[in-house]
A and B are shown apart, each in its own frame.
Chain A
Amino acid sequence: MRIPKKLINDPSKVAKEQLEGLIAANHGRIQAIGDKGAVCVNPLPSPQVAIVTGGGSGHEPMFAGYLGPGLATAAACGDIFAAPPPGVILDAAQAADQGKGVLFVYGNYAGDNMNFDIAAELADDEDIETQTIRIWDDVASAPLSKIKERRGVAGDLFVLKIAGAAAAQGKSLGQVTEITAHARDCTRSVGVALSAGSIPQTGKYNFELPDDELEYGMGLHGEPGVSREKMASADTVVEQLLDRIIEDLPFVAGDKVCLLINNLGSSTVMELLIANRKVHSYLESKNIEVHDTLIGSYCTSQEMAGYSISLLKLDDTLTPLYDAPCHSFALRK
């Protein structure tokens, strides 16, 4: 049996050590709050609604890689693939709050939902006003009729981008919440996995995929996906993924979209570019205009091989917010 190979130190400290590395990479623009996984931009921007995100570690550069002007204000990072505890989320919220309220923006998972909800109650005790937007962009994780049961995946990035831009414009908590919900509702993703990732502490692959198979709808935490099929050509796979995304929103002729092709971990840039070639020709054939294209590792699942495709449908509200400048470790505009 193949054993995962990783260059790490103490397996129980990977979440902490990657965060220390991320902080160092920010050259003082973000700082640790306490030592349990909360980080916040430094200094705080002029008073505005705070965007606080977070979730399990192991998806680098999501979530803390997106802290900075025009993006998120603070993040709570849990252990690998585990939602952060409420106290860490509260640390992040308290550091980020400037009296204008806090918007929690995170992926829709039972663990994150419960811990952020407890944190919201604790924040309320401290007179910090909070609102919550859960992201559920993964179309493969539940039918449209049960959209609130879907998971949040790489589309988190688009939603964070819009939330951060809206907050930077000085909008109220209510307005930022409404716009962020709209961005979430205009975002769809779906992924395909070729081989498994592993959690450093267990030193085991999260699942086994036979050499000649791929899996659609693979979860970001290595949760098994929804259907397993024989390996196929890139063009066939991209078409399958886009068919699912397009019909779900639906995206229609005349729409303008932002595109994200996200590396789940160990796919090559070559494969992502081959996918991108097909995505562009597919969308062109549907008369859907691509406003911007992001390609790379934005939301990963350890060494999982495969990628996800996300689309954000733009409109008059979202376009200027998407185009607004931002600066962070993993996204700069």
Chain B
Amino acid sequence: MINTAQTQALMLYVAKQVVASEPLLTEADLVIGDGDHGIGMERGFLAVIEMLEKEQLASVDKVFIKVGSTMMASMGGASGAIFGSFFRAGGKALKGTSDFDAKSLPVLIEAGLQSVMDRGGASPGDKTMIDAADMALQMSKTTSNESLESALSKVAEAAKQGVEATKSMIATTGKAKTLGERSLGHPDPGAITTAIIFKSMADFVKQGVAV
């Protein structure tokens, strides 16, 4: 379990990891999309870094809500609406929480995912970030009695499997949609980002903040 300040530090770490992944994400979106996903995520998380380094947020829910609204305001693109909605709605579901633990995870992911599906109309199987987030959600439901470190490492692994699964899917939304069957064999860029987010959370907690 981590407290509010640690959660803020966790999201700062996540933001830096995603920013560092820009070339990889650009590469993935060049293959099946329009090549702007990495730049968009970089723009959003740079704004998040600036915000988190300046502000001291009052509770765990506020950390995620503010991360989401900062992304929504700064990014644009499909991913600005998608990832912004994910963190905003996920944060709102944790209202009043001052400790982030393995029980918070399914709450965060479930509400975030629901809002992404409401906003964009996509479902699991459509080759989007939803496929990674959904695998993460299913895993987080089974690990809610474990330590945060153990839960996050399993959730991150599940998200990664979600990325793998998108390789055999045909895109039906976003800029990759027009590719149809040509998108087969390639992972979805937004799913990769989702896996990086959970992997970074897991790494941060493993590096021994507190458990």
Chain A interface residues toward B at CB < 8 A = 56, 78-88, 109-111, 114-115, 117-118, 141-142, 149, 151, 199, 201-202, 204, 206-207, 217, 219, 221-226
Judged by DSSP, the binding face of B is helix
**Do A225 and B77 form a contact, CB below 8 Å, given A199-B36, A219-B34?**
no
A83–B76 touching, CB < 8 Å:
yes
Chain B nearest CB from A244 CB (Å) reads 15
Chain B residue numbers with a CB within 8 Å of A199 are 34-36, 39
Identify 10 new A-B residue pairs, CB closer than 8 A, beyond the known A85-B80, A115-B81, A221-B34: A83-B80, A88-B76, A110-B175, A110-B177, A111-B78, A114-B82, A117-B119, A202-B39, A221-B36, A226-B178
Q: Contact partner of A84 among B38, B76, B82, CB < 8 A?
A: B76
A206 to B34, CA, bound (A): 7
Interface string of B168-180 (1 = CB under 8 A from A): 0000011111111
Binds A, one of B67-75, B100-108, B130-138: B67-75
Interface size on B, residues (CB 8 A): 32
- Residues of chain A with a CB closer than 8 A to B75's CB: 82, 85
From residue A125, how far is it (CB to closest CB) to chain B in Å?
14
CA distance A114 to B30 in the complex (A): 22
- Contacts A202-B26, A222-B34: A111 and B76 contacting too (C-beta < 8 A)? yes
B40 at the interface (CB under 8 A from A): yes
Query: Which chain A positions have C-beta within 8 A of B96?
Result: none
> Which residues of A have CB within 8 Å of B82?
114
The SS class assigned to the A binding surface is: loop
The reply to whether B175 and A223 contact each other, CB–CB distance below 8 Å, is: yes
Q: Which of B33, B81, B175, B182 contacts A114 (CB 8 A)?
A: B81
B81's partner among A111, A207, A217 (CB-CB below 8 A) is A111
Please, how many angstroms separate the alpha-carbon atoms of A223 and B189 in the complex? 14
Whether A114 pairs with B119 at a CB distance below 8 angstroms is yes
Report the separation of the CA atoms of residues A219 and B32 in the bound assembly, to the nearest whole angstrom. Answer: 12
User: Bound complex: CA of A149 vs CA of B176, how far in Å?
Assistant: 12
Closest to A301 in B: B34
Asked whether A79 lies within 8 Å of B43 as measured between CB atoms, the reply is: yes
Chain A residues within 8 Å of B36, by CB: 56, 79-82, 199, 221
Q: Does B120 contact A (CB under 8 A)?
A: yes
**B72 and A110 within 8 A (CB):** no
Q: Give the docked Cα–Cα distance between A142 and B76 (Å).
A: 25
Interface digits, B119-131 against A, CB 8 Å rule (1 contact, 0 not)? 1100000000000
12 pairs from A and B in contact (CB 8 Å cutoff):
A79-B43, A82-B36, A82-B80, A83-B80, A83-B81, A85-B72, A85-B73, A87-B72, A111-B81, A111-B175, A199-B35, A221-B36
CB contact under 8 A between A114 and B120, given known A82-B77, A202-B26, A222-B34: yes
